[in-house]
Amino acid sequence: MNFEDLIWIAKSAEPGHLVYSGGIGDIEDLRHLAQLRQEAHLENLAGVIVGKALYEGRFTIAEAHAALGG
């Protein structure tokens, strides 16, 4: 994941309108994304797509939800 680009894009997006997609390989990526969202004040980051990782069983929906602070 390229976090510098993500921060720049998220700060340029309309509030609550950015959905991150691609590069989520495991649960640690989600934890890191949640931490980055909080530390960099990325309130515009509204969600993340984890299709392939979820499909491949790398984590469950419950684990993803918990990793994102839900």
12-63 pLDDT, tens per residue?
A: 888 878 999 988 999 999 999 999 999 999 988 989 999 999 999 999 999 9
pTM, entire model: 0.85
Please give the helix or strand (H or E) that residue 48 lies within, else none: strand 45-49
- Report the candidate in 59, 55, 14, 6 with the shortest Cα–Cα distance to residue 35: 6
